[in-house]
Homo-oligomer: A and B are copies of this chain.
């Protein structure tokens, strides 16, 4: 292990040169004009895997962009880790806000700046280099490793679930590892052990059969925009608790251990409010802001519209009003059940003066990695030793559907070992990655491979 760590240290300049090459490929998955760049990026990824010593490197065509797989399976009786990442990137507009060409990486102030630097090429590349260090120095790995790398994460991983199902046997493993999340702050290694789930609905209310003159009819005919406001207003009580019957039934409360872990997180509420530009936070009573966004389910109005929304005044009593709403789900809540409860709630609570139509959009299951998962202990130790401080156990309020898929399709818990920093500007102009974190992170991944095997 020490030799591999030493190898990683002396190879830093070359790592940066190679990463710059990787970042130079404009693999924007949402833009059909970049279809060939995406394929070129998949091929670069495959070439890299071959170069570092991985075996069975394959490019799989899908209905969309290619999936790259590889493995190294010669550690008999040792665990198998499935490493996931994605080689596609977000679009770059607004281009004029970039300080440089987004695909010509620049190093400044200890950061490498380019689209994909943090999300996710830079983080995925750290795994390549950790494996390379170990393979080059010892000719073998202490554990078995498989890779599944997609090119459609930024467009919703549309073909990955099907791929996982089709290659279930080939992807068999003991744990998966993903580096596509963030650390709490610079110098504070963090493991994301929980993600909220999601269910998303659209509600359309229809009142009169046409837009009415609000003078002629206003006062006698129910106004769908008002009815919608009343229906949405009632979803939460004054304490912010969701009133949909059964909503909280399966929610798993935080354990004492988790509450203790949460209390260790240096959350600065004043700074949080300042960053958001709000005078006051608001959420479910009895929970801290971190608990509210990480551990508690919520109901949000994502969009609302109806009637006249142009310039000036139009005295219309609208025929229709609509809202897009979603619920973030806490561990053990089931999106299919919640969507049914929510749909029933809106149907039951609509007055007879309007007709209700509910449209279901996508959902996703919440994820939690049990804190006593043995592989989590290996990762914790690796991070602790690399950074010389105790890692934080954090959660994320959003969803990473692929993580739920790993659990559901492959039966795997996922270790979310994220190395981005909160100011890395993923999805925004001047995306960057912090190089000291990049180097230390590679070393932590070297350690992780050894600790996972029980060695070291």
Residues of B contacting A207 with CB < 8 Å? 278
Q: Would you call A26 an interface residue if the criterion is a C-beta within 8 Å of the partner chain's C-beta atoms? A: no
A302 within 8 A of B: yes
Residue of B nearest to A208 (CB): B276
Judged by a CB distance under 8 angstroms, whether A316 is at the interface is yes
The answer for the CA separation of A412 and B61 in the assembled complex, in Å, is 81
Check B306–A304 contact: CB distance below 8 A.
yes
Contact A215–B324 (Cβ < 8 Å): no
Q: Do residues A281 and B229 form an inter-chain contact, with CB atoms below 8 A?
A: no
Cross-chain contact B361 with A283 (CB below 8 angstroms): no
Across the interface, do B292 and A220 meet the contact criterion of CB distance under 8 Å? yes
CA distance A6 to B317 in the complex (A): 46
* Docked complex Cα distance between A276 and B209 (Å): 6
Query: Cβ of A213 and Cβ of B398 under 8 Å apart?
Result: yes
User: Would A222 and B302 count as touching, CB distance under 8 A?
Assistant: no
B226, B290, B312, B328: the one contacting A300 at CB < 8 Å is: B226
- What residues on B are CB-neighbors of A300 within 8 Å? 214, 218-219, 223, 226, 315, 317
Q: How many residues of A contact B (CB 8 A)?
A: 77
Give per-residue flags for A302-333: 1 if the beta carbon is below 8 A from chain B beta carbons, else 0.
11111111001111111001111010100000
Once the chains are docked, how many angstroms separate the CA of A270 from the CA of B281?
49
Closest to A319 in B: B277
Contact residues of A between 209 and 258, Cβ < 8 Å to B: 209, 212-223, 225-226, 228-230, 232-234, 236
Given contacts A196-B215, A215-B399, A216-B293, contact A303 B308 (CB under 8 A): yes
Bound Cα distance from A223 to B284, whole angstroms: 13
Q: Verify if A397 is at the interface (C-beta below 8 Å from B).
A: yes
Say if the beta carbon of A301 comes within 8 Å of chain B. yes
**B307–A301 touching, CB < 8 Å:** yes
A396 within 8 A of B: yes
User: A232: which B residues are within 8 A, CB to CB?
Assistant: 225-226, 229-230, 233
Interface residue A353 (Cβ < 8 Å from any Cβ of B): yes
B221 touches A282 (CB 8 A): yes
Residues of B within 8 A of A323 (CB): 225
A200 contacts partner chain B, Cβ-Cβ < 8 Å: yes
Nearest CB of chain B from residue A286's CB, rounded to whole Å: 12
| Residue A279 lies at the interface, judged by CB distance under 8 Å to chain B | yes
- Contact across chains for A328 and B276 when beta carbons are under 8 A apart: no
Beta-carbon contact of A284 and B213 below 8 Å: no
- Partner of A198 from B233, B315, B322, B354 at Cβ < 8 Å: B315
The residue that A396 contacts in the complex, of B202, B216, B278, with Cβ under 8 A, is: B216
Q: Is A47 an interface residue (CB 8 A)?
A: no
Any B CB within 8 A of the CB of A411: no
B307 touching A306 by the CB < 8 A rule? no
Shortest Cβ gap from A202 to chain B (Å): 8
Asked whether A215 and B229 contact (CB < 8 A) given A281-B353, A302-B314, the answer is no
**Shortest distance between the CB of A240 and any CB in chain B (Å):** 8
- In the assembled complex, 15 residue pairs joining A and B whose CB atoms fall closer than 8 Å, in A order, are A208-B277, A219-B298, A219-B397, A222-B278, A223-B300, A229-B229, A232-B233, A278-B354, A300-B315, A302-B308, A302-B318, A303-B318, A304-B305, A309-B322, A313-B361
The 9 closest A-B pairs by CB, nearest first: A215-B398, A209-B277, A233-B233, A219-B298, A303-B307, A222-B282, A229-B232, A313-B361, A225-B301
Partner-B contacts on A (CB < 8 A): 196, 198, 200, 202, 207-209, 212-223, 225-226, 228-230, 232-234, 236, 276-284, 289-290, 292-293, 296-298, 300-309, 312-318, 321-324, 326, 328, 351-354, 361-362, 396-399
